[in-house]
Amino acid sequence: MDSDMQHIRHSLAHLLAAAVKQLYKGAHNAIGPAIEDGFYQDFDMGKFKISEEDFPKIEQKMREILKTWHAFEVKKVSVAIAKKHFKDNPYKLELIKEFSKQGKTITENDPGGFLDLCKGGHSEDPQKELQHFKLLKVAGAYWKGDEKNKMLTRIYGTAFATQKELDEHLKNLEEAKKRDHRLLGQKLDLFTISEYVGKGLPLFTPKGTLVRELLNDYSQNLRAGKGWQKVWSPHITKNDLYKISGHWDKFGGELFLVKSQETTDEMVMKPMNCPHHQQIYASKPRSYKELPLKFMETTTVYRDEKAGELLGLSRVRSITQDDSHTFCTPEQIEGIYQDLIEVTKTFYEKMGMPLRARLSFRDPKQPKKYLGEVSLWKKAEHILLDIAKKNKLDYFVAEGEAAFYGPKIDFMAKDSLGREWQLATPQLDFVQPARFGLEYIDTAGKAQTPVMIHFALMGSIERFLSVYIEHVAGNFPVWLAPVQVAIIPISDKHAEYAEKMAQILRQQNLRPTVLSESDTLGKKIREAEMQKIPYLLIVGDKEVAANTVGVRQRGKGDLGQMPAEEFIQKIKKEVEEKV
């Protein structure tokens, strides 16, 4: 989001606050930032409750107030004056107190009859620039994101520079509702969530499991072709492992604790795989001749995510990673990254999702967030920048997005609605191998610390599926479709021929189903189409007599009669080429 758009959206958060405070006397506004595609404002509504039914009234009030607004006037004020101005708003008073302790300058703004506490970044011409907005939804949000604090009312809105852009975005939002992976997951019988198993712990049906495994097979085969080998690690471990790696200090509160009845060791469910793979590396002495060592493992890790943040497959507590870790010399880094970039490009090209790269670097203003020497961080970031340039990646730099142990390339995949998702991530790590004392003997006979490169192609299979299901609207390509072919006999007398065709397809490792229920032909066709099955084969007297099938293809309609063998070759080619 460019700065002009950010200023417009942030200004609209102020406008929303002004409208709500006029309409609902006694309501307090808390914070209201610009976010991707829009803005939000948090409120303590007091005795009032707001729903989406109230939005037309609030939007009308926003437009009335806007007519009286001019350029935002930002003024520096003393703590005493700020406290006086906001004496009735406990949230602003708390912020003033915090800013004062931190030595920050206190600033206020007023675009016209609405004084607010804000550091700036506003529209220069509100009446012209704040026209194209829409309120979207109401949600609950704890003050400062802390569950110990009061639950506030958060109102989300969206805004764009032109009405055309706003209309297009609203159209995409409506389409996104239809593509919601939670609805499609139920409709297509892919996964379920049981209250007895627990929130954030999805269960996959035979169809959903098949999709997961096909995706993982492709992911692992691409990397196996570049030399990565499978390893395996258990799901629980002593917490000492994560104390050494540094994860305990950073994420100890997100780990599931495991109590043993036999030992006093403190155990946890593993939240990530890298320390385990490092122990495989450390299991024997290593020479430069063995490097690079390439390990991969698709396994489930566990993180105690907050219940309020869990959402379908996109945010879960059981996270299946198609993970890999490479141990190499500094000279081998570029070659490893070249392989990983090629794998990533190949995979996402097949998924139909264009990529750009975010170079996620450390925030130099917050050094305490990261482990390791500054010189190593600068070296690692220089290497990634050089790799991005040499590969002619469409990239941008994002300070503050690095992991605590190293910078990374986050590949951002764009879906069919134009939304970007951070998925594949090759991550450079000079820190953890040193913490575990990993070594290899170099050409001069001296002990050196290897570099580790973390990489997950899909990231989390669950999250990837949430994105991909919505990207294709449940219309999986033939190679991924749980059911590839629906064979529909026109009447009961054609059922035997339909079963014969199904058996022939199964022998060719294809996945057919026969819709032999005594419904009308039209109803059976509609059922197959609702299940988004790529091919329908209609069989009646003509097909039985000629040993053919009547082919209907999803999205293309009736392809006419086709010899069974010709159809088999057609679909097998599509599966092989993953089209």
Which sequence positions are flagged as catalytic?
274, 303, 321, 323, 325, 408, 454
CB 218 within 8 A of CB 347: yes
In degrees rounded to 5, what are phi and psi of residue 156?
-100, 145
Classify 258 as helix, strand or coil: strand
Cα angle 3, 4, 9 (rounded to 5 degrees) comes to 95
Give the C-alpha separation, 445 to 421, whole Å: 45
DSSP state of 288: G
Pair of tokens at residue 569: 């070759």
Q: Are 219 and 458 in contact (CB under 8 A)?
A: yes
DSSP 271: S
Check: CB of residue 480 under 8 Å from CB of residue 573. Answer: no
Q: How far apart are CA 425 and CA 357, in angstroms?
A: 9
- The strand order across the sheet containing 236-238 reads 236-238, 267-269, 257-258
Is the sign of the CA dihedral 473, 479, 480, 486 positive or negative?
positive
Q: Give, in degrees to the nearest 5, the angle at Cα 390 between 389 and 396.
A: 20
Neighbours of 64 (CB within 10 A): 11
Phi-psi region of 560 (alpha: psi -120 to 50; beta: other; left: phi over 0): left
Distance of CA 399 to the CA centre of its chain: 19
Taking residue 328's Cβ as centre, other Cβ atoms within 10 Å add up to 20
- Rounded to whole angstroms, the Cα distance separating 478 from 460 reads 23
Q: 549 by DSSP, 3-state: which?
A: strand
d(CA 463, CA 83): 45
C-alpha separations of 424 from 27, 356, 390, 427, 431 in Å: 43, 11, 19, 10, 21
E strands in 143-279: 151-159, 191-192, 203-204, 229-230, 236-238, 257-258, 267-269
Distances (CA, A) of 187 to 12, 184, 525, 554: 38, 5, 16, 17
Classify 176 as helix, strand or coil. Answer: helix
514-523: long-range pairs with CB below 8 Å, 24+: 514/486, 514/487, 514/488, 514/489, 515/486, 515/487, 515/488, 515/489, 516/489, 516/492, 518/492, 521/488, 521/490
What percentage of the chain's residues is helix, strand, coil (to nearest 5)? 40, 25, 35
> What is the rounded distance in angstroms from the CA atom of residue 289 to the CA atom of residue 423?
33
